Amino acid sequence: MDYMTLKEASVLWGISPRMINYYCTAGRIAGAVKMGTVWLIPKTAEKPIDGRTKQGRKRAHK
């Protein structure tokens, strides 16, 4: 299986490496494994849904 680093995943998914680190620690990325101090994420893994906002709901700007 091919893996990518946090930095590679952050470029691919458009989110910060810190947020991806949080998702890995919380178990929200399927197949992510920690080797020493580095998280390895499968290249086939899907971007986790951001639980801070409701999906499909637009924010009103005033």
What are 16-47's pLDDT values in tens digits? 999 999 999 999 999 999 999 999 999 999 99
Confidence of residue 50 (pLDDT cuts 50, 70, 90): confident
- Using CA atoms, how far residue 12 sits from 36, 45, 47, 59, 62, in Å, is 23, 11, 9, 25, 32
Categorize the per-residue pLDDT at 52 as very low, low, confident or very high, splitting at 50, 70 and 90: confident
The pLDDT of residue 62 is above 70: no
Burial of 9 (0-12, 13-18, 19+ CB in 10 A): buried
Which pLDDT does position 57 carry in this prediction? Answer: 64
